[in-house]
Chain A
Amino acid sequence: MTKPEITALLDLGDDYLQRYQDGTPIKKVLKDRTQINLFFEDSTRTRTSFELAGKRLGADVINMIVSSSSIKKGETLIDTAMTLNAMRPSALVVRHSASGAAALLAQKVTCSVLNAGDGSHEHPTQALLDALTIRRRKGQIEGQIVAICGDILHSRVARSNIHLLNTMGARVRVIAPPTLMPPFAENLGVSVHHDMREGIADADVVMMLRLQTERMQGAFVPSTSEYFHYYGLDAKKLAHAKDDALIMHPGPMNRGVEIDTVVADDIDRSAIQDQVETGVAIRMACLDALCNGPLP
């Protein structure tokens, strides 16, 4: 996406956020439209966020958790999508464990497709909501030093954030143990760090990523406690960042693994609850833009 496109979506999302915070009525721009949340991987928070976003815009929202039904019967991803497409929804919101799945679906169906996360590839609405959160709290994205810390290797959130923040002119750093850093990460336009103190030095934003527990039992890092010792965000490490550094996390958090409870719940610095609220607004903006014509 280009900078003007991103800015337009952020503006639209900001407007929706302001409206429901103020209690201003929201135009039901998706009235009589159908939105299907097609989740091949369950994710309660993302699905709920998309469901709320659609409903606030007046859409009829249907949730399908496919992992347990037709795929097991041998129906392919494409068949499932084509079947749903034949029911003429306006939008398919797709979450899948394989990179490129949403793009593949978009080639085969006629309705709009919204990527709600594909494998280790992208999670675009997460990056947009993170960007809006930063913009609201910091005034602007350009020039901010954003340190992304955690399982960069498997993270679609990291990839989407890197692309978006770079496009918007932020300075992005990634921090992870070498086993959780993808090869040639520096070619993505970020600076690569294995020492957390060095990575978050003078950062304006510290974005923590979730680490799957099964990846910490010796496969990628030796143990939970060693990981927390070197890469968990606590007050001591946070002291290296700017005093007003914003703390972010896409959720769900592993408290005591990648982030200390005291830091996560610091109401002055943690934007984690803001991210959830902003998420609904930004997804409203995306659905609106996708279903109601091109961005300006």
Chain B
Amino acid sequence: MNAQARAAYINARIIDPVAGTEVLGSILTVGDKIWAVGPDAFDKADSDGTLIVDCQGKCLCPGFVDMHVFLGESMDTTAQSAAAGGVTTIVIQPDMNPVLDQVSLVDYIERQARDAIVRVHPMAAATKGMDGREMTEIGLLQAAGALAFTDSRKSVHKAQVMRRLLTYATVHNALIVQHAEEPDLADGGVMNEGETSTRLGLPGVPAEAEVMMIERDLHLVAMTGAKYHVSIVTTAQSIDAVRRAKAKGLAVTCGTAPPYFALNELAIEDYRTFARLSPPLRTEADRLAVIDGLADGTIDVIVSSHDPHSEDEKRLPFSFAAPGVVGLETILPMIMEVANGGHVPLPRLINALTAAPAELLGLPVGRLDKGAPADLLIFDPNIAYRIHAEDFVSGAKNSPFDTRPAEGRVLKTIVAGQSVYAADGW
């Protein structure tokens, strides 16, 4: 690609996730960088050799940064699925076979990532083999490109191990990411504990299992001064705990995923295994608390928690089915449901998908500053349609949103100035 190639995205409703504003205007990119943003960013008189993309009044914002993706399919397929969902940076979870707990493995992912159509970075395991006992080589892994440290689907459940992890991480200014679930209390549970689990005769995970782990960790964060992130919060109690900790000035952040603000435990109704997640779908009150947490900024980040599973892993009795949903291609319609419903302003939601995760992970993407990478997303915020899992680029179809009426569709995804996905006519 010509390093000086110019592209102008004109007539756009530009959403700036840092300023929290929406303005009509243009974005001019030169090579793989953003050059200018705003009503006067592009001068028609100076358009020679510039590729002009007329956004027709649709939304334009930084491409999404998704910090919670499981590589359940090939890197290529995952990257294409991401591009189709408007995601320009994905962060791979270390929960692979083998577990990403060594420099050579992180390096392998980094090399594979070079050929992917979106940016791909790994997180590394927090403990060796993710067995919760010995910490990994945090410094060396970070130098190799690991953006953060997590045991992924497992909680670091030993208090002493977590304390040492947090303490050691401060030397490298590394981010520790926790799957917050007290494993003993959650043991055997396959859905939220409550009236619905009682009716279905399924063992439950109490909401307390999540907040207990978070509150324990918050004490350790206060002791150590480390950077701590809860990968997914799902309950009103957890969100309150994080809100209080932030008010006290602790370096704590948290994320959530669309199923937790779009669905509640009733989605399981007839033992629908596509609604089996970990952490599990919670009550309606919890769902509303998640939306409140997004609105007031207690929840910093939205992730897809993209976790592809074959039909064989889902076409089983509920207790035996694998937890997890595919999510890269349904992030946008799910946030538009919240935005169009008037619950959370769109720029705030876009921030949780761009600038906030990028800042947390130390990435230069996710913002519209001059000189920032030209990773952009054009989307229609209002177009109405029905989600069909069979249309996904991802080979896995385990979406709890299949056949759901939706608004909002990705029109074009741009990574480093290059189009990596375009809807029909774009």
A residues apposed to B, CB below 8 Å: 76-78, 96, 98-101, 103-104, 118-122, 156, 159, 182-185, 187-188
Please indicate the chain B residues that have their CB under 8 angstroms from the CB of A98 in the complex.
317-320
Please indicate the chain B residues that have their CB under 8 angstroms from the CB of A159 in the complex.
199, 201
Please indicate the chain A residues that have their CB under 8 angstroms from the CB of B320 in the complex.
77, 98
| Residue ID in chain A nearest B206 by CB atoms | A183
B270 touches A (CB below 8 Å): yes
10 shortest interchain CB distances as A-B pairs: A121-B201, A98-B317, A100-B271, A120-B201, A184-B195, A182-B198, A99-B201, A101-B317, A187-B195, A98-B319
B residues apposed to A, CB below 8 Å: 193-195, 197-204, 270-271, 312, 315-320
**Distance from B4 Cβ to chain A, minimum over Cβ atoms (Å):** 58
Please indicate the chain A residues that have their CB under 8 angstroms from the CB of B202 in the complex.
99-100, 119-121
| Residue ID in chain A nearest B199 by CB atoms | A188
**Distance from A189 Cβ to chain B, minimum over Cβ atoms (Å):** 11
Measured in the bound complex, the distance between the Cα atoms of B320 and A78 in whole Å is: 12
Measured in the bound complex, the distance between the Cα atoms of B203 and A159 in whole Å is: 14
- Assuming the A-B contacts A104-B271, A119-B201, are A99 and B194 also in contact, with contact meaning beta carbons closer than 8 angstroms in the complex? no
Measured in the bound complex, the distance between the Cα atoms of B318 and A77 in whole Å is: 12
Measured in the bound complex, the distance between the Cα atoms of B201 and A183 in whole Å is: 11
**Distance from A190 Cβ to chain B, minimum over Cβ atoms (Å):** 11
Please indicate the chain B residues that have their CB under 8 angstroms from the CB of A77 in the complex.
316-317, 320
- Assuming the A-B contacts A120-B201, A122-B201, are A100 and B195 also in contact, with contact meaning beta carbons closer than 8 angstroms in the complex? no
Please indicate the chain A residues that have their CB under 8 angstroms from the CB of B194 in the complex.
183-184
The 11 listed contacts between A and B (C-beta, < 8 Å) are A103-B270, A104-B315, A104-B317, A118-B201, A119-B201, A119-B317, A121-B200, A183-B193, A184-B195, A184-B198, A188-B198
Interface centre among A78, A103, A104, A188 (most CB of B within 10 A): A104
- Assuming the A-B contacts A77-B316, A77-B317, A183-B193, are A100 and B198 also in contact, with contact meaning beta carbons closer than 8 angstroms in the complex? no
Please indicate the chain B residues that have their CB under 8 angstroms from the CB of A185 in the complex.
198
- Assuming the A-B contacts A77-B316, A121-B201, are A99 and B271 also in contact, with contact meaning beta carbons closer than 8 angstroms in the complex? yes
Please indicate the chain A residues that have their CB under 8 angstroms from the CB of B315 in the complex.
76, 78, 104
Measured in the bound complex, the distance between the Cα atoms of B270 and A103 in whole Å is: 8
Cβ contact within 8 Å between B319 and A119: yes
| Residue ID in chain B nearest A98 by CB atoms | B317
Measured in the bound complex, the distance between the Cα atoms of B97 and A247 in whole Å is: 56
**Distance from A93 Cβ to chain B, minimum over Cβ atoms (Å):** 17
**Distance from B272 Cβ to chain A, minimum over Cβ atoms (Å):** 10
Please indicate the chain B residues that have their CB under 8 angstroms from the CB of A184 in the complex.
194-195, 198
Please indicate the chain A residues that have their CB under 8 angstroms from the CB of B317 in the complex.
77, 96, 98-101, 104, 119
| Residue ID in chain B nearest A122 by CB atoms | B201
Please indicate the chain B residues that have their CB under 8 angstroms from the CB of A104 in the complex.
271, 315-317
Q: A99-B202, A184-B195, A185-B198 are in contact. List 6 more A-B contacts (CB 8 A).
A: A100-B202, A104-B315, A104-B316, A118-B201, A159-B199, A182-B198
Please indicate the chain B residues that have their CB under 8 angstroms from the CB of A99 in the complex.
200-202, 271, 317-319
Please indicate the chain A residues that have their CB under 8 angstroms from the CB of B316 in the complex.
76-78, 104
Cβ contact within 8 Å between A183 and B197: yes
**Distance from B377 Cβ to chain A, minimum over Cβ atoms (Å):** 39
